[in-house]
Amino acid sequence: MGCWRRCEQAIGWLPVVVVEAIVVWSWYAFNVVLVGSAVENVFIKILYVLLQNAALVMFQWSYYKCIMVPPMRPPPEYKLNQQELTQLAQGVEPESVTNRQLNTLTYSRFGHGIRYCGFCRVLKPDRCHHCSSCNSCVLKMDHHCPWINNCAGFHNYKFFCLFLIYGALYVVIIALLSLPYFVLYWQDKITVAGSTHLIVMFFMAAMISFTFVMMAIYHISLTCANKTTLESTSFRVRFYKATVNRWSLGSNIANFEQVFGTDRSQWWLPKFTSIGDGVHFPVVLAPDTQGAQFDPPKQRPQQQQQQQQQQQQQ
């Protein structure tokens, strides 16, 4: 590993350090400055501490899982040797690749050929993309997030959604609970030791809460549509004869369960409960099909052309 790559990896942790520094400071400003100095009622003190710290625990738990769970890569059967890689680069689909029967349903928009990665030397499963920051192909990649120094993908997308939800809850709690005391202090009706912390905490929580809430709503809507950020913002790949979102299973709940699982008691916990293996995904046969079914394996355009030529020769 080169020196530049090591420096790049070290710099990648800076956003995480910034987030954790803000969290530590916000805990001090809320529990020590606000609760310890401004709040007088003992019952309210206990309630404030319980609410803020419960949200903090779930937020930090989800954040830790987002960061520490490594991306899932294509399995060994998707590996390419040098000869296969050379042929694919020349626009020729090797027979050894065709015979693998991987049943991928998407193909590249460039030349309508099979999707592969020359950097990782692998065939790309459906919904898999190469991340230049992680330097690897990531299964069901959503996007690379610098705030977690990791990719959001099949391996941790549930954790990422919970990170946004609990992050929004954490900052909203701080903003709402500190608002009355911020107003009282602004009106010179109370004195607060370390008032600067109270003022900065309220304004930061109010601004950050807007970002967290909007991001949480956006990613939950993607989950209910069974889309990733890449799929909703770009057209890097194409579906065989598809003009609609073929990954959608026809209902918001069915799509949501693909990420959060079928056990609803586990939805709120940052535990891996996503359905599938990140390589194969159920698709509906038509937009109005009721329930999830598996499309029969599709032939790539080059395979279809070869088959037609063989039939003509016969």
Residues annotated as catalytic are 145
User: CB neighbours (10 Å) of residue 102?
Assistant: 19
* β-pair type (143-145, 150-152): antiparallel
Pairing of strands 136-138, 143-145: unpaired
CB 129 within 8 A of CB 236: yes
| Degrees, nearest 5: CA angle 160-146-200 | 85
Both tokens of 57, joined, read 């625990």
Task: For residue 165, count other CB atoms closer than 10 A to its CB.
Answer: 21
Q: How far is CA 291 from the centre of its chain?
A: 25
CA neighbor of 82 nearest in space, from 108, 107, 116: 116
Nearest alpha carbon to residue 170 among 43, 26, 55 = 55
